[in-house]
Amino acid sequence: MGFRMAVWHFTLRPVKTLRPDRAEQDRRRIDFDAFFRARFTQFVRFLMMSEAAQREDAEDAVEAAMLDAYRRWSRIDNPEAWVRQAARRIYVRERMRDRERRRRSLIAEQLAHPVGEDWTDGDASMIVDLVRRLPPAQREVIAYTMDFYGPSDIAQILGKSPQAVRSNLRAARRRLAELYRESRDGHETR
């Protein structure tokens, strides 16, 4: 079986630079300016609703997304969808960075002030023992709460609804109170 080799011949021609003329640049800038003015507040509201973002954080994310959109304006087919998704990604990424900074800060604080300084060893072990007696979902929610996460953050991390997290948290607190009273009164716990 023989092989045939294809030979391609290329002709070299000077390539015209793809810089838009001044009028085209002005038209694109005007289109973007109108888009920005018409949609900025709408995108901020979208992030506040969809991600429970604070206004300032939503504005920062939308501004960054709009800047990216301006740089790519001629290549974006659906600017509305593009900016919504970009703003959402930017917001979520910043939230994750903030969460990681808080986590590292808490770890550094815990290393600087070990549990033994604030609690007696007996208190710490009693609390850990009580938490261990909770069902897994309640135990998990309590652990995040003790690390200063709020219900909406916990819900996002665990992929559950905020209502489910609040329900587990409420049940866990009730059960911990019962367990604590029982242990304090010297009764045997379940």
List the chain pLDDT tens, one digit each, 190 residues.
455 554 444 455 554 555 556 666 666 777 889 999 999 999 999 998 888 889 999 999 999 999 999 999 888 889 999 999 999 999 999 999 988 888 777 766 666 555 545 555 566 677 878 888 999 899 888 888 887 888 888 898 888 999 999 999 999 999 988 988 888 787 554 4
Q: What is the pLDDT of residue 111?
A: 60
Query: Helix, strand, or coil here: 107?
Result: helix
Span 113-184: which CATH code? 1.10.10.10
Cα separation, 42 vs 66, in Å, equals: 13
| Separation between Cα atoms, residue 183 and residue 171, nearest integer Å | 18
Distance CA 59, CA 39 (A): 12
Listed by start position, the domains of the chain span 26-99, 113-184
In the chain the first and final C-alpha atoms are separated, in Å, by: 80
* Token digits of residue 61: 């994310």
Q: Tell me, what's the pLDDT at 62?
A: 96
What pTM, to 2 d.p., does this model score?
A: 0.46
